[in-house]
């Protein structure tokens, strides 16, 4: 299950995985953010808020995740990963080579700091 919270005023989406990620999770993210992106041209940011990366429930879920990244990374200015694991550091290092969005990692309890960073453009 993936909790999806879109803050339309600040153009930020917060994703909070609660268990392994599924294909349906990425369909739901698309349904939540694509109409907003279509109307406004993009998002200021995305926050992935999770203690540690839960993985995917199938190969098709992983492919859906990678397809989502490919289709959306130019439409999101900044991505913050708030986590107590190395997920944020890995995303920051690898992501800087693979996606157009700026990526920064924060501790799990630094959600407000991540939001401020996204809005400080």
pTM summary value: 0.90
Q: Distance between terminal CA atoms of the chain?
A: 31
pLDDT in tens, 20-78: 999 999 999 999 999 999 999 999 999 999 998 888 999 999 999 989 988 998 999 99
Kindly tell me if the per-residue pLDDT of 116 is higher than 60: yes
Domain annotation for the chain: domains and CATH numbers = 2-119 (3.30.750)
Cross-strand pairs, 5: 14
pLDDT category at 97 given cuts 50, 70, 90 is very low
Looking at residues 107-115, what average pLDDT do you find? 97
How far apart, in whole angstroms, are the C-alpha atoms of residue 31 and residue 84? 28
Kindly tell me if the per-residue pLDDT of 96 is higher than 90: no
H/E element holding 16?
strand 12-17
């Amino acid at each position: 299950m993936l909790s999806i919270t879109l803050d339309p005023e600040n153009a930020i989406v917060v994703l909070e995985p609660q268990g392994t990620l599924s294909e349906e999770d990425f369909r739901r993210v698309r349904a939540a953010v694509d109409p907003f992106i279509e109307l406004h041209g993009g998002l200021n940011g995305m926050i992935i808020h999770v203690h540690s990366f839960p993985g995917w429930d199938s190969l098709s879920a992983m492919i859906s995740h990678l397809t989502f990244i490919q289709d959306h990374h130019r439409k999101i200015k900044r991505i913050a990963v708030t986590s107590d694991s190395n997920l944020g550091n890995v995303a920051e290092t690898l992501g800087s080579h693979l996606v157009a969005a700026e990526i920064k990692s924060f501790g799990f309890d630094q959600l407000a700091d991540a939001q401020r960073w996204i809005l400080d453009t």
